[in-house]
Amino acid sequence: MAIRVLVVDDEPAVLRLLKAMLDPQQYDVTTAPGGRQALELCLAPDAQFDALVTDVTMPEMDGRELVASLAERKIEIPVLFMTGYDYVDDSQDGITSEFTGHGYAKLRKPFSKRALIDAVEALFQAKHSTAQN
């Protein structure tokens, strides 16, 4: 069974690249060009995603706002935040203790296909090990 991943990024070329990086034999990838569209997909009655991969900085609704909106609605999904910003202090991107360590991880852009796959698999494995405990 494929891991169902929702990938969110406001850059169309990046969105296509991320989808291509996630092997269709292992991942069932749905894409959204922004936080609002991703929220709509997550609120659909038949929505069942194993992981959310989202850019941090996007117009209208950024990745942090998306995750906060999901949490308000009691939708629990492991999240991989992607950021292209190189911060001296990790907390400057807003992915602080509010998000880290609770089914959330962060990946710096640019990253390799292997790094992306490893990060998504780690989220998926953490979700299932937590569910079994």
Task: Say what the pLDDT of residue 105 is.
Answer: 86
Digit-coded pLDDT (tens) for 9-47: 999 999 999 999 998 889 999 999 999 999 999 999 999
Task: Say what the pLDDT of residue 25 is.
Answer: 82
Mean pLDDT for the stretch of residues 91-114? 69
Q: What letters, b where the CB count within 10 A reaches 16 and e where it falls short, cover 35-71?
A: bbbbbebbeeeeeebbbbbbbbebeebbbbebbebbe
Q: What percent of the chain is predicted at pLDDT more than 90?
A: 57
Task: Say what the pLDDT of residue 102 is.
Answer: 55
Instruction: Tell whether omega for the bond before 59 is within 30 degrees of 0, i.e. cis.
Output: no
pTM as predicted: 0.86
Digit-coded pLDDT (tens) for 40-79: 999 999 999 999 999 998 999 999 899 999 989 999 899 9
Best CATH choice for the domain 20-85+93-112 from the list 3.90.190.20, 3.40.50.2300, 2.40.340.10, 3.30.360.10: 3.40.50.2300
- What three-state secondary structure class fits 36? helix
Q: So where are the chain's domains?
A: 20-85+93-112
Task: Say what the pLDDT of residue 127 is.
Answer: 65
Digit-coded pLDDT (tens) for 107-128: 988 999 999 999 999 887 876 6
